[in-house]
């Protein structure tokens, strides 16, 4: 069960770049004695009301520069409670706000306009602080009839409105809308993939759905079934902002038909990485434990490339990762949260997406691919979300020598 839950009603007016929101946040206190909480909300939004359990006062600072690099246009909403709150205590916050959002960085994937709207945490349209952990959500959206509105999760039509429900932990609420937004639905086994697109040809959208359905089936065979069997893909028509993924959602930025058809192996690897996060997602993302999410997802994608395109394609990608890992830092204790410089960001990317998969491939080679997949199945079934849990399982399945070997590889700098 998720720690927090949003229940929101969103009035979206894309042609005026305007939103109105009212709703509640059920918030479980993360630390003992908390008497102040901070959430971030776009600074162009006007807070009409805010009440809540033991809430005394609040201030919405729309002047001070945002301390959160990926939310540069956010203001800090400071909440002060009348007494220290108990850890695990559940409080309810009720709020209403509105505004015209016209400012966002050039690199932002979040925009609002008559032609294309893509709302999420990059310019936070809902009160959010990543320090407090993941949440579930239920959002009802009202928008002009000319627009098609989509998100991820269960889509429940509510008359002229749409309700989107997501009951697994996530860190974002992404809403997209456009007058000409189309949808292709692909099914394979228990899996359902919804591809939402504007500029792609229908054949390309169908190909994306087909590739994802194949990937999900592969992963289910290798790692075991997962509770979530729905995946949404949004092919965003914007040229800037790139792609990103959330648990259950893949957003592709600026994709064109010829790109996908001409580089299908590359996109299968990319989609394979994001789809694998339905299995590899539970570890803490702001510490070195994130390698359990990213390195396992990337290695899963490489295995999919081998399965689909053959050993040569697999070995070619491994060779590139080996070369990139030559001067890398250890995985163990990686300073994951420090992204203050370009060099630091590059180092983190190299460790998580190149070195980690190489170490996993060494482990798979050492114990054999079938036993490696058995280990993965146990990790998923046990919802193991720490390296300590991985090592304990590995020691049980393969013995102390293999366990100590992996510890050594995780603590090694440049790989030989």
pLDDT in tens, 45-94: 999 999 999 999 999 999 999 999 889 999 999 999 999 999 999 999 99
Q: Given a cut of 80, is residue 241 above it in pLDDT?
A: yes
| Per-residue pLDDT, 340 | 67
Each residue's pLDDT tens digit, 92-133: 999 999 999 999 988 899 999 999 999 999 999 999 999 898
Residue 163 CA to chain centroid, in angstroms? Answer: 21
Bridge partner list, 195: 184, 233
Q: Given a cut of 60, is residue 167 above it in pLDDT?
A: yes
Q: What is the mean pLDDT of residues 171-181?
A: 96
Buried b (16+ CB within 10 A) or exposed e, 267-301: bbbbbbbbbbbbbbbbbebeebbbbbbbbbbbbbb
Q: Given a cut of 80, is residue 228 above it in pLDDT?
A: no
Q: Which domains does the chain have, with CATH numbers?
A: 4-178 (2.60.40.1730), 183-276 (1.10.390.10), 288-411 (1.10.390.10)
| Per-residue pLDDT, 416 | 66
Each residue's pLDDT tens digit, 124-141: 999 999 989 889 999 999
The residues near 201 (Cβ < 8 Å, ≥ 6 apart) are 257
The model's pTM is 0.87
* 46-52 vs 90-100, strand pairing mode: antiparallel
Bridge partner list, 12: 19, 143
The encoded tokens of residue 376 equal 């993965």
268 with 330: CB under 8 angstroms?
A: no
């Amino acid at each position: 069960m998720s720690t927090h839950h949003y229940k929101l009603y969103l009035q979206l007016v894309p042609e005026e770049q305007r939103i109105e929101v009212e709703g509640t946040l059920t918030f479980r206190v993360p630390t003992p004695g908390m008497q102040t909480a901070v959430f971030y909300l776009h600074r162009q939004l006007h807070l009409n009301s805010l009440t809540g359990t033991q809430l005394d006062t609040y201030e919405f600072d729309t002047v001070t520069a945002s301390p959160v690099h990926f939310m540069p246009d956010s203001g800090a909403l400071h909440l002060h409670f009348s007494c220290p709150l108990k850890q695990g205590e559940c409080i309810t916050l009720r709020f209403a706000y509105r505004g015209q959002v016209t400012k966002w960085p050039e690199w932002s994937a979040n925009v609002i306009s008559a032609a294309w709207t893509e709302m999420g945490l990059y310019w936070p349209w809902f009160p959010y602080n990543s320090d407090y952990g993941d949440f579930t959500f239920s959002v009802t959206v009202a928008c002009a009839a000319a627009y098609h509105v989509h998100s991820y999760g269960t889509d429940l039509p509510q008359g002229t409105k749409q309700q989107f429900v997501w009951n697994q932990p996530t860190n974002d609420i992404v809403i997209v809308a456009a007058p000409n937004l189309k949808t292709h639905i692909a099914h394979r086994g228990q899996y359902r993939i919804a591809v939402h697109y504007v500029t792609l040809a229908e054949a390309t959208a169908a190909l994306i759905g087909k590739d994802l359905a194949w990937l999900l089936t592969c992963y289910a065979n290798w790692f075991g079934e997962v509770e979530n069997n729905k995946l949404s893909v949004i092919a965003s028509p914007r040229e800037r902002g790139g792609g990103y993924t959330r648990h259950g959602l893949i957003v592709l930025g600026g994709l064109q038909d010829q790109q996908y058809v001409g580089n299908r192996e590359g996109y299968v690897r990319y989609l394979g990485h994001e789809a694998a996060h339905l299995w590899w997602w539970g570890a803490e993302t702001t510490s070195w434990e994130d390698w359990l999410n990213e390195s396992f997802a990337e290695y899963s994608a490489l295995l999919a490339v081998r399965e689909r395109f053959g050993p040569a394609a697999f070995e070619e990608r491994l060779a590139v990762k080996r070369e990139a890992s030559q001067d890398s830092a250890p995985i163990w204790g990686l300073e994951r949260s420090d992204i203050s410089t370009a060099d630091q960001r590059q180092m983190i990317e190299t460790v998580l997406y190149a070195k980690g998969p190489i170490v996993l491939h060494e482990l798979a080679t050492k114990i054999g691919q079938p036993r490696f997949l058995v280990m993965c199945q146990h990790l998923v079934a046990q919802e193991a979300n720490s390296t300590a849990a991985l090592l304990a399982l590995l020691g049980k399945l393969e013995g102390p020598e293999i366990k100590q070997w992996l510890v050594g590889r995780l603590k090694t700098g440049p790989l030989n």
